[in-house]
Amino acid sequence: MIRTANPADVPVIHRLIRDLAEYEKALDEARATEAQLHEALFGDRPAAYAHIAETPEGEIAGFALWFLNFSTWRGVHGIYLEDLYVRPDLRGGGHGKALLAELARICVDRGYERLEWSVLDWNAPSIAFYESLGARPQDEWTVYRLTDGALAELGRGAV
């Protein structure tokens, strides 16, 4: 079962984000707090949205955290999937596919024309899963990121 996350889910989402960061070998980079997640998802101006996958027994199996983006070429919003994670002991049960199907349904219902996300190059199981659904890599683009000191320097006009 897929449902929209609610404020009571924040501690579990936070734990699963940390589990995902550990799987991606970057736990030290996962600095978000429960309070930050609560504000981003349920504050006065939500910046992100989340859906929860549950087992038939009501156990949280995984989550999808996403936000809106906008295509200047298409002239409409799309969804950028920031995180998709299903607990390892519950993988293979259709939870990941159901989460992606829910986001695709939202896109179709709202007239959004893109559902996009990033995947680590070494994550072969996830790549195979995404391609089995018809997703294709956008290998003509390279992602760039400013963070930490470089972001601060540019923001201060020091560069």
- Annotated catalytic residues are 130
CB 126 within 8 A of CB 119: yes
In whole angstroms, how far apart are CA 81 and each of 58, 59, 127, 149, 152? 24, 22, 15, 26, 26
* Rounded-to-integer distance, Cα 18 and Cα 121, Å: 20
CB 70 within 8 A of CB 77: yes
Closest CA to 66 of 36, 46, 89: 46
* Rounded-to-integer distance, Cα 152 and Cα 39, Å: 23
CB 13 within 8 A of CB 63: yes
